Amino acid sequence: MEVFDRRAVAQGARALLRPLASLLLRCGLTWREFAELSRAVFVEVASREYGLRGRPTNVSRVAILTGIGRREVGRIRAAMEHPEPPLPNQTNDATRLLSGWHQDADFLDAGGKPLELPADGGARSFEALARRYAPDVAPGTMLKELLRVGAVGTQAGGQVRVLRRFYQPAPLDPQWILNAGSVVADLGVNINHNLAVRDGQPTHFLGRATDTRVDAAAVADFRAFLETEGQQFLERVDAWLMRRRVEDGGQDTHRAVRLGVGLFMIKGDPDKESGHE
């Protein structure tokens, strides 16, 4: 196992935990509840990722790695065998649908703009779009969710009009929390991959562009800059991914992987702020 400077690890962990603690406190989660979650996740990760010679990690090794007693490890692993069903996270399905609406020729007008669609019926309907890009969610359920967050709107005649290219749930509703967890998880997987690479292996792109002496009056202009430039960049990425998409049920489905990029605004020093403005 790789050995790191424990002081650096502790300092990095504190920086990572500050915004997480702020989020959890805002959502009403206490440190005791977080400690219980953390203990279970430590056991889960140690059990699944730290076995020797490809074998599952035994209870004793998990106890050594995590510092959690063997009896408690056994209790947690037994509970892992009967997990509660996860809450449905509609972020990927909804974003895929909105992206398809902006790029699939079957749902574009002659000028390449997204069509207004009837809710159901026919090959050019919201129902058909949903079944193509979000087959695991009922079209009516998806439409209600997209209407709720303002990603689509309805016209007087009942036509559905797309308003956004990406799905963004309202702050602090369940889908927003699930989405936030997914964003942080993607970043963590990226960092873990790059820590584990050996000579000659490719790393995952990870970069930032920041400056510590920007005039505070420029914040609004920077937001506007990102809204334009960031959105255009994400749309180019989206188009690139769509051109290489494996169709559901096709013979190449087994080769399908999740691939993408995250982009977010940075403001303030994470060692001094929790994200409040």
Note the pLDDT tens digit of each residue in 66-120. 999 999 999 999 999 888 887 777 777 888 899 899 989 999 999 999 999 999 8
Mean pLDDT (the chain, rounded)? 87
Question: What does the angle CA 149 – CA 152 – CA 157 come to, to the nearest 5 degrees?
Answer: 130
User: 276: pLDDT confidence band, cut at 50, 70 and 90?
Assistant: very low
Does the pTM of the predicted model rise above 0.75? no
Same domain membership, residue 72 and residue 106: no
Domain end (from 64, 84, 104): 84
Same domain membership, residue 96 and residue 64: no
* Total structural domains within the chain: 3
Same domain membership, residue 128 and residue 69: no
- Name the amino acid, one letter, at 35: A
Q: Is the separation of the CB atoms in 267 and 219 below 8 Å? A: yes
> Phi and psi dihedrals of 153, rounded to 5?
-140, 165
Tens of pLDDT, residue by residue over 196-211, are 888 888 999 999 999 9
Question: Has residue 172 been placed in a domain?
Answer: no
Question: Has residue 48 been placed in a domain?
Answer: yes
Closest CA to 175 of 277, 275, 93: 93
Q: Has residue 4 got a pLDDT over 90? A: no
First-residue to last-residue Cα distance in the chain: 41
> Phi and psi dihedrals of 133, rounded to 5?
-110, -15
Question: Has residue 190 been placed in a domain?
Answer: no
Percentage of the chain lying above the pLDDT 90 cut: 53
Tens of pLDDT, residue by residue over 118-169, are 998 889 999 999 999 988 889 999 999 999 889 999 988 889 999 988 888 7
pLDDT at position 271 is: 58
Same domain membership, residue 136 and residue 76: no
Domain, as residue range, for 32: 16-84
CA 277 – CA 267 distance, rounded (Å): 9
Same domain membership, residue 157 and residue 110: yes
CA 130 – CA 101 distance, rounded (Å): 9
Same domain membership, residue 154 and residue 108: yes
Question: Has residue 203 been placed in a domain?
Answer: no
Residues 6+ apart with CB under 8 A from 248: 135
Same domain membership, residue 106 and residue 71: no
Domain CATH for 105: 1.10.10
Q: Is the separation of the CB atoms in 89 and 179 below 8 Å? A: yes
pLDDT at position 63 is: 95
Same domain membership, residue 101 and residue 54: no
For tokens 């509660």, name the residue.
84
Q: Has residue 277 got a pLDDT over 50? A: no
Question: Has residue 178 been placed in a domain?
Answer: no
Same domain membership, residue 99 and residue 78: no
User: 250: pLDDT confidence band, cut at 50, 70 and 90?
Assistant: low
Tens of pLDDT, residue by residue over 253-272, are 677 888 999 999 999 866 55
Least confident of 92-96, 140-144, 170-174, 243-247: 170-174
Same domain membership, residue 80 and residue 104: no
Q: Is the separation of the CB atoms in 167 and 90 below 8 Å? A: yes
Same domain membership, residue 273 and residue 249: yes
Question: Has residue 234 been placed in a domain?
Answer: yes
Tens of pLDDT, residue by residue over 54-75, are 777 899 999 999 999 999 999 9
Question: Has residue 2 been placed in a domain?
Answer: no
b (16+ CB within 10 A) / e for 119-142: eeeeeebbbbbbebbbeebebeeb
Same domain membership, residue 218 and residue 158: no
Question: Has residue 183 been placed in a domain?
Answer: no
For tokens 């049920």, name the residue.
249
